[in-house]
Amino acid sequence: MNNLTHETKLTLLYITVAFLFSVAVRMIWFYQFGDYEPFHHNGQFMINTNDGYYWAEGARDILSGVSQANDRSPITTAASQLTALFAFILPFSFESVILFMPVFLSSLIVIPIILIARSIKNLEMGFVAALLASIAWSYYNRTMIGYYDTDMLNIVLPVFLLWSIIWAIRTNEDKYLLITAIDILIYRWWYPQSYSLEFSFFALILLYALVWDRKNIYNYKLLAIMMLAMVGLEGYIRVILVFGVFYIYKQKELDKYIYYILAASIALFFISGGFNPIWGKLKSYVFKDAVTVGKEGMELHFYSVMQTVREAGHIPFEIFANRISGHVVTFVASVVGFIYLAYRHKIMLFGVPLIGLGFLAYVGGLRFTIYAVPVLAFGVAFLITEAARFMPTKRLKFLAITALTLAVLYPNITHVQEYRVPTVFNSNEVKVLEELRKIADREDYVVAWWDYGYPLRYYSDVKTLIDGGKHSGDVNFPVSFMLTNSQDVSAKMARLDVEYTEKKFKFIEENKEMIRDKNLTIFSNIEQMTKDYGFSDTNDFLLSLQTDIKLPEKSRDIYFYLPHRMIDIYPTVEIFSNINLMNGDMKKSSLFYATKMFQQKENIIMLGQGIEFDLQNKTVTSNKQSVPIKRFVQTSYDKSMKFSKDIQIANSLADITIIYMSSYNTFLVVDEKTYNSLYIQLMVLEEYDKALFKEVIMTPQAKVYRLKV
């Protein structure tokens, strides 16, 4: 009894120290930018991830009790609900709650790590693994202070699930059957995409039961209750099923029906479509296509957003290793250590699904590395504690563990100190959005690229056409078209896309049963426009926007939000509409080059990448070929923030324009199509068609125009 008490006290001590360590490291960013006012709003730091504004919008609307149809506010999601609860019961501002939630929730990962280590009688290993896992590169990057996203529990919950599975298999105690099922229920509530990992754990336990422990009925009880927690039914139904079958388990005379319960649960899993999202997720991240094609109707071709998402791209081995363990050497030691650990304690093989999902990053994108962090941390921690066993005294053992632990922590802490990510927006940009909130109605739309969708909805309380969760190729095309084409056709497309979006909402709401029963296809807005205007070729419809076509009746106002920061992603924005929708062929990219890295020698301005601008002859040289420019434009703001521009025509027959944005210390090299695009004309040059647009908010950080048509 005394030994148990001592072990429990030591476990609590290790958990407390590891938790405080994790919190303290995450506060480094807070103190680095403590006095930097552009990162503050309402007396608190702003968050540093776009997606966070999605959950914040939902929590805000839960607390206010105000939300309208089709505003995409996530009031039913776990992250928003938990945030609203914390904001309601805690004596802190809403901004403080969303800023610090990742710090404390993500640090909970140390608890299951140390409890897992306790199951194999090696608390020191668990303590070292908890220290490393809690601040390892990828885990820190996605759970740092201000990174308010579901990742703050996305790894904590499956590691708790791993703990409950390990203890269930080791002890065969009934309570771990229920704990495991509850883990799955909570994990699915928090992160609906958890099904792939849950299914992997189920498959591994099934393999274990069939190969090594076939006659143990406890294993089949565990599998059945896990499967019932995983089926594709509403959460409350799964809760009823789980507690119902657990009640049956307590009646020992019913053990003879366990195999039937397992078979029924597996059948229910597939009947309820439980495997469909697993396959769909694999296809979206692993089997990526540049162009997606509609299966029915005109079979239009759209550019796939997965080709532009950095977290879904291939990564070099060094980055892969660093993100998991902090250093290539540590990573190799972690892999070797885990193999040795699994050899000594085969129960740790149940951590393989987490490693496997983490290793998927090598082909599926860097976001997955986070899953391998906690399990591989056990590997290097095991090597450290095993090496310390050879020390002749307790003092030397302690010093060895300390030194080796500091060695593996050092590159990760160094990374934390250097990882100085900015907030999503600066304070001046937020002021623009809050000013827009006073002007626009909640039913109005704001046209902007999807990167800015969530912050727009949070700060301006408006509707958007695309955002961080609604950005497939078919919805991105119209917005890309609006931002990168001339003002007249962009204005028409804006009115069309907004009205067709609302029309689609209404149709779906009024015909839910028919759509479900007949499995009707809801076509993209652009396809429906093409058909409604009497065209069989979408290219012909797009050309018709240059004529005086009849637009839908205006139902609400439309605003264009044009931030200066979009200059950095203009080529990416354009690519989504730079495609032949009928055959999928990509068109020639427009010329767009932006740089702040330039040098001037006499009349020559070297713009980098071999591009030179001759001020005297008004020519631009690239790859040793010189061509005349059409115009040279210089823009500036005076001390009172009044905008001015100077346009010098050089050669009216040329195609290239040089723009020097002096207040931003930026040069742009663009062709005529880009020069005439809505973004360049309205944001960079403030040259807008007064019959189509009206100035609303004009600042150097962002400009907002209202559409008149």
Residues 124-179 pLDDT 10s: 999 999 999 999 999 999 999 999 999 999 999 999 999 999 999 999 999 999 99
Q: Are residues 322 and 347 in the same domain?
A: yes
What percentage of the chain exceeds 90 in pLDDT?
77
Q: How sure is the predictor about 307, in pLDDT bands with cuts at 50, 70 and 90? A: low
- The pLDDT, as a whole number, for residue 252 is 82
pLDDT tens string 523-555: 899 999 999 999 999 999 999 999 999 999 999
Q: Are residues 194 and 276 in the same domain?
A: yes
pLDDT exceeds cutoff 60 at 204 = yes
3-state DSSP: the chain helix, strand, coil percent, rounded to 5?
60, 10, 30
Determine how many CB atoms are found less than 10 A away from the CB of residue 336: 14
pLDDT exceeds cutoff 60 at 80 = yes
Angle ∠(406,393,344) on CA atoms, nearest 5: 70
Question: Strands 592-595, 463-464: parallel, antiparallel or unpaired by DSSP?
Answer: unpaired
Q: Are residues 44 and 135 in the same domain?
A: yes
Average pLDDT, whole number, for the chain? 92
CA distance linking residue 449 with residue 565, whole number of Å? 11
pLDDT exceeds cutoff 60 at 664 = yes
- The pLDDT, as a whole number, for residue 522 is 80
Domain boundary among 512, 531, 564: 564
What's the mean pLDDT in 408-436?
96
pLDDT exceeds cutoff 60 at 285 = no
What's the mean pLDDT in 570-590?
95
Is the separation of the CB atoms in 452 and 281 below 8 Å?
A: no
Q: Are residues 369 and 469 in the same domain?
A: no
Token pair for 581: 């929708």
- The pLDDT, as a whole number, for residue 308 is 58
Q: Is residue 574 part of a domain?
A: no
pLDDT exceeds cutoff 70 at 358 = yes
SS3 56: helix
Instruction: From residue 688, give the alpha-carbon distance in Å to each of 20, 674, 691, 706.
Output: 55, 15, 9, 11
Structurally, how many domains does the chain consist of? Answer: 3
CA distance linking residue 641 with residue 662, whole number of Å? 13
Q: How sure is the predictor about 558, in pLDDT bands with cuts at 50, 70 and 90? A: very high
Beta bridge partners of 403: none
SS3 463: strand
- The pLDDT, as a whole number, for residue 153 is 97
- The pLDDT, as a whole number, for residue 279 is 58
pLDDT exceeds cutoff 60 at 282 = no
Q: Are residues 597 and 668 in the same domain?
A: yes
Q: Is residue 576 part of a domain?
A: no
Q: Are residues 58 and 181 in the same domain?
A: yes
Question: Strands 702-707, 693-698: parallel, antiparallel or unpaired by DSSP?
Answer: antiparallel
Cα(first)–Cα(last) distance of the chain, in Å? 80
pLDDT exceeds cutoff 60 at 310 = no
> What is the residue range of 596's domain?
589-707
H or E segment to which residue 311 belongs: none
SS3 585: coil
Q: Is residue 169 part of a domain?
A: yes
Global pTM reads 0.90
Q: Are residues 448 and 307 in the same domain?
A: no
CA distance linking residue 660 with residue 504, whole number of Å? 43
Secondary structure letter of residue 423 according to DSSP: P
Query: Following DSSP, what letter does each residue of 158-200 receive, concatenated?
Result: HHHHHHHHHHHHHH--HHHHHHHHHHHHHHHHH-GGGHHHHHH
CA-based R_g, the chain, Å = 29
pLDDT exceeds cutoff 90 at 10 = yes
Q: Are residues 550 and 598 in the same domain?
A: no
Q: How sure is the predictor about 634, in pLDDT bands with cuts at 50, 70 and 90? A: very high
Domain boundary among 564, 579, 606: 564
Q: How sure is the predictor about 576, in pLDDT bands with cuts at 50, 70 and 90? A: very high
Nearest to 477 by CA among 533, 542, 416: 542
What's the mean pLDDT in 109-127?
96
Q: Are residues 282 and 179 in the same domain?
A: yes
What is the residue whose two structure tokens read 């879904």?
312
Of 206-210, 362-366, 610-614, the least confident: 362-366
Q: Is residue 642 part of a domain?
A: yes
CA distance linking residue 161 with residue 382, whole number of Å? 21
Q: Is residue 38 part of a domain?
A: yes
Q: How sure is the predictor about 360, in pLDDT bands with cuts at 50, 70 and 90? A: confident
Q: Is residue 352 part of a domain?
A: yes
> 673 vs 270, which has greater pLDDT?
673
Beta bridge partners of 656: 629, 671
Q: Are residues 23 and 160 in the same domain?
A: yes
What percentage of the chain exceeds 70 in pLDDT?
94
Domain boundary among 418, 440, 466: 418
What's the mean pLDDT in 659-676?
97
Token pair for 651: 């050669």
Q: Is residue 456 part of a domain?
A: yes
CA distance linking residue 353 with residue 200, whole number of Å? 6
Of 27-36, 225-234, 452-461, the least confident: 225-234
What's the mean pLDDT in 511-515?
79
CA distance linking residue 217 with residue 252, whole number of Å? 11
Q: Are residues 339 and 447 in the same domain?
A: no
- The pLDDT, as a whole number, for residue 283 is 54
Q: Are residues 92 and 31 in the same domain?
A: yes
Q: What's the gap between Cα 650 and its chain centre?
A: 45
Query: Following DSSP, what letter does each residue of 91-137 receive, concatenated?
Result: SS-HHHHHHHHHHHHHGGGHHHHHHHHHHTT-HHHHHHHHHHHHH-H
CA distance linking residue 41 with residue 45, whole number of Å? 6
Of 69-73, 321-325, 387-391, 688-692, the least confident: 69-73
Token pair for 461: 């309380």
- The pLDDT, as a whole number, for residue 313 is 54
Q: What is the CATH number of the domain that holds 492?
A: 3.40.1380.40
- The pLDDT, as a whole number, for residue 445 is 97
Q: Is residue 607 part of a domain?
A: yes
pLDDT exceeds cutoff 70 at 663 = yes
Beta strands in 360-447 (DSSP E): 445-447
